[in-house]
Structure 1
């Protein structure tokens, strides 16, 4: 969910799509005309509050990635959901998603769960470290919806409608504040107003990334869409229908932080958000991957790693093979390399590199190592171990996440803040069909997404997969590659599931968390 910490700019393509590329996919299906669009449910919202009365906005849906809230969306026909293009990008395929329809309370069981048979992004969708352009997508459901008071489509506006001075609503189950670790249980709403482009462009970040033809800003002090609301609708009523029907004016797309004072009018995020990234990646929400550690050599970034017990770090063999461990330091609970106040520092007393480790000019084999810390750490929200996969567990075709402070390009410097990127884990067959085929071994796996990759400095860091039980497991270790983000050469990772017994043997004196807790 790459955009969950930067949402404030809303796509304004909705009028254009009626006669554009995406409308053709809508017209391919008959639309249920037995109801009116944009009619709110038969309830009133709580006065002065942010919680929505159940089913007041029956067009709202949540897009789920396993048990995890991924994005929002809106029903526009009995077969189609409108959402953001970035919700089916960065390693997430539309088939990975399920759609919760008719939902208010995420813990209830009365809503319907549907699957997605097709997902179409705008053909001109593009992305950089801060923003997405033409950030719109249409999802096709696996079966038609039956419209009721709890399930109803939103209306699309006509070209003559103007919402500049209208109070608009954004609603979703996203996180309630910047830095929150969990999403809301109940549907929440907030009211915002459109901010004119000249005002929005006062910030350098917005000035350089705002495309006024297809984007608009909306804001109210202390109110904003936040993590998990990506792809959800920005909507309001219009005098043309005597304010009785609701129209979707925009789609939650991107922004800087959540409801920060004076955004988007002034203020800057840390420069790293705009300029520092794993190739094709995004800034990770601080401490959202609390097992990730930085291994530094003489105060410079050397490798990444993952905490697997209170005293052991899993990393790559090549990170230690040719270095004196006395020159290495491990930073734990780290987000920003310039802010080390609450970071735990440890030296390394011992490193065990796999007995069959071997290296050539191109690649490393059995590229795995366990480093023992000189003193155990105490687990807390910012310092936790990663779960290990089951022996021989496979992750082909799943979405993976890499995190690290590595270089953002072949000739560029390391990042100061933790970055993440979503990749697609390839099948062994696809991996062997790449130009790396002559250098691959069964204990290796490939992962790739266009324009994204682990790069120098991310070596030894974890390749993570989010499991249906709501926990991340470490599927791989960043091992080797040719260049950075080159489509001909996917990144290569050590398959952790091939070494579970070896890892347990080397970490028997450590304490970890129960994966099933």
Structure 2
């Protein structure tokens, strides 16, 4: 191999590794809606469903959205719309649901939607990780209620401590997470995100099951879907947590 060809391949690999931009929140006060945005997270999407309540979801590249499968149960492309962070909407061209999804236990509760067209450059996807290391601190984003979004504060959700029992119907596909500030059994639909030391948010899970106070909630572990996400969303931003590039 010639030196020139080797240098070109190396440059291409480096550019691919650092070209994507993801997981950076918009710098504005969370409760300030003066910019007309749903949230400070440019990857946040609300999936509106004619037959079910809306669910929070995440852009994983410019045309694909990660969401819980139970949010789509009994629906097709025509009955779904994606409301982007600027309140504009897009139709859905295709739906992928894990064929192993069990609506009784919540096992494999994961899906990917393809938007009818790519989003604009003002939207950035959430970061994706190869590592299975638990990111901290976590943040949980809640789907809209009365046209408002509520953002969980850091450390509200904690991974269940070793030795404690996850509530039925927890499965091997779930993350079992305790919210010590919970006051009822409402289910907060939306992405479960980790904030890393490089000031980026990473997709960790999607809401699967919620329970009463003093019991952990269940989130589908997104790390189980690395292969499928790479295939379905080829432009996803897989960024190492040590990567501080901008």
Same-fold call, TM > 0.5? Answer: yes
Q: Distance in 2 between matches of 1:286 and 1:371?
A: 20
Tell me the residue number matched to 1:470. 199
Matched, 1:503 2:245: no
Partner of 1:493: 219
Q: Which one of the candidate residues 387, 394, 402 is aligned to 2:134? A: 394
Match of 2:149 in 1: 418
Query: Cα deviations across residues 222-277 of structure 1 (Å, max 9, x unaligned)?
Result: xxxxx6xxxxxxxxxxxxxxxxxxxxxxxxxxxx86xxxxxxxxxxx99xxxxxxx
**Runs of 5+ unmatched residues, structure 1:** 1-178, 183-226, 228-255, 258-268, 271-284, 335-342, 407-413
Provide the rounded CA distance (Å) in 2 between the counterparts of 1:427 and 1:300: 29
Q: Write the distance in 2 (CA, Å) between the matches of 1:180 and 1:295.
A: 21
Candidates 94, 101, 106, aligned match of 1:350: 94
Contact 2:96 2:112 in 1 (8 A): yes
Structure 2 portions without partners, runs of 5+: 1-24
Selected match of 1:364 from 81, 106, 111? 106
Query: Taking structure 1 as reference, are residues 321 and 307 closer, same or farther at Cα in structure 2, changes over 3 Å only?
Result: same
> What CA RMSD, in Å, does the superposition of the two structures yield over aligned residues?
2.9
- Alpha-carbon offset, residue 448 of structure 1: 2.5
Which secondary structure state, in structure 2, belongs to the residue aligned with residue 417 of structure 1?
coil
Quick one: structure 1 residues 498 and 394, their matched pair in 2 at CA, closer, same or farther if it must change by over 3 Å? farther
Q: Does 1:451 align with 2:181?
A: yes
Match of 2:83 in 1: 331
Equivalents in 1 of 2:51, 2:171: separation in Å?
34
Distance 2:85 2:76 in 1: 24
Task: Please tell me whether the aligned partners of residues 306 and 462 of structure 1 are also in contact (alpha carbons under 8 angstroms).
Answer: yes
**One of 71, 84, 94 as aligned partner of 1:319:** 71
Determine the C-alpha separation between the residues in 2 that align with 1:331 and 1:443: 28
- Partner Cα distance (1:433, 1:347) in 2: 41
Q: How do residues 40-51 of structure 1 correspond to structure 2 at under 5 angstroms?
A: none
Q: How many angstroms apart in 2 are the aligned matches of 1:359 and 1:417?
A: 28
CA contact (8 A) 1:302 1:319 kept: yes
What are the Cα deviations for residues 479-516 of structure 1, in whole angstroms up to 9, with x where unaligned? 11224xx11x21110111121112112222xx345634
- CA deviation after TM superposition for structure 1 residue 425, in Å: 2.5
Measured in 2, the distance between the counterparts of 1:290 and 1:349 equals 21
Pair 1:291 & 2:22 matched: no
Determine which structure has more spread, i.e. the larger CA radius of gyration: 1
TM-score (norm 2): 0.74
Shift of 1:440: 1.8
In the TM superposition, residue 351 of structure 1 has moved relative to its aligned partner by 0.9
In structure 2, do the counterparts of structure 1 residues 476 and 440 end up closer, same or farther at CA, with 3 Å as the change threshold?
same
Does residue 441 of the first structure (1) align with residue 179 of the second (2)?
no
1:405 is paired with a residue of what secondary structure? coil
TM-score w.r.t. structure 1 length? 0.37
